[in-house]
Amino acid sequence: MEHKKIIVTIGRQFGSGGRTIGKRIAERLGIAYYDRELINLASKESGICGEFFEKADEKTSGGLLKAFALGFSMNSAIFQCNDYLSNESLFQIQSDVIRKVAAEGSCVLVGRCADYILRDDPDCVHVFISARMEDRIRRALEYNKDLTEKDAEDTVRKADKSRASYYNYYTDKVWGAAESYDLCVNSSLYGLEETVDYILSFLKRP
């Protein structure tokens, strides 16, 4: 029996457990998972040093251009400030990689405006994961035990602001707004495992 192709894109608040949820969905469905792997693929496909994509990853244009001005290696060359690729070019390369992996088969894609890039793909389901601030702060502290609770909250808020700026800059939608997604879930209501179950039940609907 032929299985229906399914692409799940996941947007997420920092500390919501979205990455873990995405991985577990992919494992449960037996399909590919892409998060930071997209950076490696974009670098391999384009021949461009992964440092460029790392610096641009879910950030808007301003900060990366300064990094380019300092010079980063690309194909064993050093680019000067008047000789860099624009963030828009990097976004286009990464977008092409996202379309390619989605065309190749079922997968879960986390972040990087994948829902917008694949907005016309009928096999896609677009999910956004949120969580209560106290849970997000707790996870931030688990990620980095050297942080104070205040530092952790600042990290959460700054990360969200960066992701929202990146998303809103490259799309005509609003990051985290319900109308931008097919399903919005608060992982604090169920916990990570039951959130995975909930999303999987949504994917199995007729």
| pLDDT tens figures, 17-75 | 999 999 999 999 999 998 876 656 555 565 555 555 555 555 544 433 333 333 333 33
**pLDDT tens digits along 175-190:** 999 999 999 999 999 9
The residue ranking higher by pLDDT, 121 or 80, is 121
The whole-number pLDDT of residue 93 equals 80
Residue with tokens 């194909």: 75
The answer to which of 84-93, 104-113, 142-151 has the lowest mean pLDDT is 84-93
Structural tokens at position 105:
């088969």
The whole-number pLDDT of residue 39 equals 57
Is residue 83 classed as helix, strand or coil in its secondary structure?
A: coil
**pLDDT tens digits along 125-148:** 999 999 999 999 999 999 888 889
The whole-number pLDDT of residue 8 equals 97
β-bridge partners, 183: 127
**Residue 77 main-chain phi, psi, to 5 deg:** -115, 155
- End-to-end C-alpha distance for the chain, whole angstroms: 17
Cα angle: 187, vertex 127, 94; to 5 degrees: 125
- The reported pTM is 0.80
Question: Contact 150/128 with Cβ under 8 angstroms?
Answer: no
CA 153 vs CA 12, 25, 129, 143: distances in Å: 16, 28, 18, 13
The whole-number pLDDT of residue 205 equals 84
Question: Contact 163/110 with Cβ under 8 angstroms?
Answer: no
The whole-number pLDDT of residue 85 equals 53
97: pLDDT strictly greater than 80: yes
101 pLDDT tier (thresholds 50, 70, 90): confident
Question: Contact 166/160 with Cβ under 8 angstroms?
Answer: no
81: pLDDT strictly greater than 60: no
